[in-house]
Structure 1
Amino acid sequence: MKFLAKAAAVLLVTVSLFGGSLFDNPYDGEKKSEYKYEGSSGAHYKYDLSDPSDRIEYSTDLDAQMNDKMSVSPNRDLDRQMGQFGGGIDPND
Structure 2
Amino acid sequence: MKKLLFISLFVLFIGSSAGYSQDITWNPIPIPGSSQSQEDDYSPYRQKQSTYKSSTGTQYQYDLNNPADRVKYNADPAAQLRDRLNTNPNVKIDQSVGQYGGGVKQD
**What's the TM-score, normalizing by structure 2?**
0.53
Point out the structure with the larger helix share: 1
Judged with a 3 Å threshold, the aligned counterparts in structure 2 of structure 1 residues 73 and 34 are, in CA distance, closer, same or farther, namely farther
Structure 1 residue 85 displacement after superposition: 0.2
Residue 72 of structure 1: aligned partner: 87
| Structure with higher RCO (Cα < 8 A, 6+ apart) | 1
Q: For structure 2, list consecutive stretches of 5 or more residues without a partner in the other structure.
A: 1-47
- TM-score normalised according to structure 1 size: 0.60
Residue 47 of structure 1 aligns to a residue in which SS? strand
Overall identity of the aligned pairs, in %: 38
5+ residue gaps, structure 1: 1-32
Cα-Cα RMSD: 1.5
Q: Partner residue of 2:39?
A: none
Aligned residues: 60
1:51 is aligned to: 66
Compare CA radii of gyration and give the structure with the larger one. 2
Q: What is the 5 A alignment of 1:1-93?
A: 34=49, 36-92=51-107
